[in-house]
Structure 1
Amino acid sequence: MAAITGLDHVILAVSALDAARDTWRRLGFTVTPRGRHIGWGTANYCVMLEADYIELLGVLDPSQFDNGLGERLARGGEGLLGIALATRSADSAAAAFEAAGAGGEPARDLARLLDLPEGPVQPSFRLAYPARRDAFGLSLFATEHRTPALLRRPEWERHANGATGILRLGLPAPLADSALAAWAALDGARQDGDSVVIGGFALGAGAEPMLHIATGDLDACEAALRAGHVAHARHPGEVRVPPLPGTGLALRFAG
């Protein structure tokens, strides 16, 4: 069994959490209640899809530890911050990072508070990081979910734009060129032309950072964007949205 089974989530750095939440709602997504990282000054909102999700990560309390997020936003602005890969065992993922030449660190535990209407709950995870943080061209770790039921509710996975999952992440060519060989060496990954495929997710080069999202209904997707007053372009088989405050990268909805 492969150590890495696919994509768990894509992490986007956002400058203003509530404003980013509202932007993603205007894009036709359902957004979860806010989560807070225990002992840190960061918080998030999530867009839950069928097998993966998008995390909007921002600084809630700048007086507390933010793991460098505030500096990253000041330096590079909003946009792609990193990728979390899916694994059934964080310890196996750490070994996979080591085998891929990126080094492996001991897996570590993480918890956060999720503010639900009925009261806060505490999802927990076990994470594995490569020792060489530059090996994959961007921040990367693997996530083993300890409490998956706390993160997923059927109503959170229903979106007005028909979104069902993340298909691909397009990276700028210089970054992709230096990173794809390391990605391809991961247990569970395979090279497919100019892309690396892990489960149902592909990573490859693009003219600009772009998140490709599957939708079951392009007409519903376009209707949701119109309702949210979001500028977009409809092409055969796809709808494209340019980068917006609160996303930091282009979106492509593929039917």
Structure 2
Amino acid sequence: MSAEAQYPLGIDHPLVTVHDHAAALEMYCKMGFSPSPVSFHPWGTVTTLMMFPSNFIELIGVDDLSKFGTNSTNGFCFGRQLGAFLEHEEGVSLVALHSKDARADHVRLTENGLTSQGLIDFRRRMTLPNGKHDEAVVSLGLFIDPELPDASNFICHQHRPELIWVKGWQNHTNGADGILAVTYLADPKRLESRWRAFYGDQVRFNGDALEADTGCGVFRAISAETAAKEFAGISLPKANAERPHAIAIRLNTKSLDDVRTILKRNAVAHVDAAERVLVEPSAAGNVILEFVQTI
């Protein structure tokens, strides 16, 4: 699947939100990612992308608090939202969902009963692999649930997708080529109605997990008991309060052996299992990166 073939509301990108963006970026490079150049949002955040053919990880931090309030809508400011998240911890603060028509998707989702803070349009200056500068044009639809702040979403419509899905940014030495799943630590019942508003009958229980098939990756919700079994041997991300929050991003790699070699060579903390490799959350911005090889 490519960005052009992405399903509406498929997993577009989780926001791995960190205090020290430069230090976290250095760790992601040590894991074998080849990130896009650093760029900045108008509301004061700094960002880098780990691009894959159909989705990506956004590594994001706060750069300039004085810009909080820029591009705010109905009192909501993206920079302030991420700053508030960082006041209690790092990790996946939000997950963006793919859209090719933010306004139409926004209408449909609000009609499904989801609360929205509105729409934001903005531009972001960026540097392409050839060194030239250009400007991404983006529309966001905000669906932040105050009862589920760290399990919320926004829809993301890239009006110039060719500036985001740059093939030169998709060649990672660790062989990663896509996000397969985002796993939440939560009572599955807490997330069921929200996910059904997005995905309808594509939400179902699979053993101990509630799963929502987005068409481009799966959202999963598991209990603390299930998480302890599924991620035995590795630390779970630190959380200062019990609430639904993402704990793992599952990535496909073309070669688990390459992942193992890179992580060992660069002394990145990880757990090596027979059919997957788990990077410790302390090395990845307070989220487990779970590498698997599906083919």
TM-score, with structure 1 as normaliser: 0.89
* Contact kept? 2:202, 2:213, Cα under 8 Å: yes
SS in 1 for 2:36: coil
Find the counterpart in structure 2 of residue 186 from structure 1: 198
Q: Are the structure 2 counterparts of residues 51 and 223 from structure 1 closer, same or farther at C-alpha, using a change threshold of 3 Å?
A: same
Mean alpha-carbon deviation: is it higher for 19-28 or for 243-252? 243-252
- Paired residue for 2:17, among 5, 10, 13? 13
Give how far 1:109 is off: 1.1
Matched, 1:173 2:186: yes
Find the counterpart in structure 2 of residue 97 from structure 1: 109
Q: Are the structure 2 counterparts of residues 100 and 236 from structure 1 closer, same or farther at C-alpha, using a change threshold of 3 Å?
A: farther
Give how far 1:211 is off: 0.9
Cα deviation code 1:115-145 (max 9, x no counterpart): 4462432101111123755468623111111
Q: Whole-Å Cα distance in 1 between the matches of residues 201 and 47 of structure 2?
A: 28
Find the counterpart in structure 2 of residue 24 from structure 1: 28
Give how far 1:182 is off: 1.1
- Paired residue for 1:140, among 148, 153, 161? 153
Matched, 1:201 2:214: no
Find the counterpart in structure 1 of residue 50 from structure 2: 47
Runs of 5+ unmatched residues, structure 1: none
* Contact kept? 2:248, 2:290, Cα under 8 Å: yes
Q: Aligned letter for 1:191?
A: V
* Contact kept? 2:34, 2:170, Cα under 8 Å: yes
SS in 1 for 2:260: helix
* Contact kept? 1:82, 1:138, Cα under 8 Å: yes
Q: Are the structure 2 counterparts of residues 89 and 134 from structure 1 closer, same or farther at C-alpha, using a change threshold of 3 Å?
A: farther
Find the counterpart in structure 1 of residue 135 from structure 2: 122
Q: Aligned letter for 1:204?
A: R
Q: Aligned letter for 2:250?
A: H
Figure out how many residues of one structure are paired with residues of the other and give that number: 251
Find the counterpart in structure 2 of residue 153 from structure 1: 166
Find the counterpart in structure 1 of residue 287 from structure 2: 249
SS in 1 for 2:19: coil
* Contact kept? 1:165, 1:214, Cα under 8 Å: yes
Q: Are the structure 2 counterparts of residues 95 and 133 from structure 1 closer, same or farther at C-alpha, using a change threshold of 3 Å?
A: farther
* Contact kept? 2:268, 2:283, Cα under 8 Å: no
Q: Are the structure 2 counterparts of residues 180 and 229 from structure 1 closer, same or farther at C-alpha, using a change threshold of 3 Å?
A: same
Give how far 1:97 is off: 1.8
Q: Whole-Å Cα distance in 2 between the matches of residues 240 and 254 of structure 1?
A: 9
Q: Whole-Å Cα distance in 1 between the matches of residues 260 and 253 of structure 2?
A: 11
Matched, 1:61 2:77: no
* Contact kept? 1:4, 1:188, Cα under 8 Å: no
More helix as a share of residues: 2
Query: Identity of aligned pairs, percent?
Result: 26
* Contact kept? 2:126, 2:134, Cα under 8 Å: yes
Q: Whole-Å Cα distance in 2 between the matches of residues 133 and 89 of structure 1?
A: 25
Higher relative contact order (CA 8 A, sep 6+): 1
SS in 1 for 2:198: coil
Runs of 5+ unmatched residues, structure 2: 1-5, 69-78, 228-235, 237-246
Mean alpha-carbon deviation: is it higher for 115-124 or for 240-249? 115-124
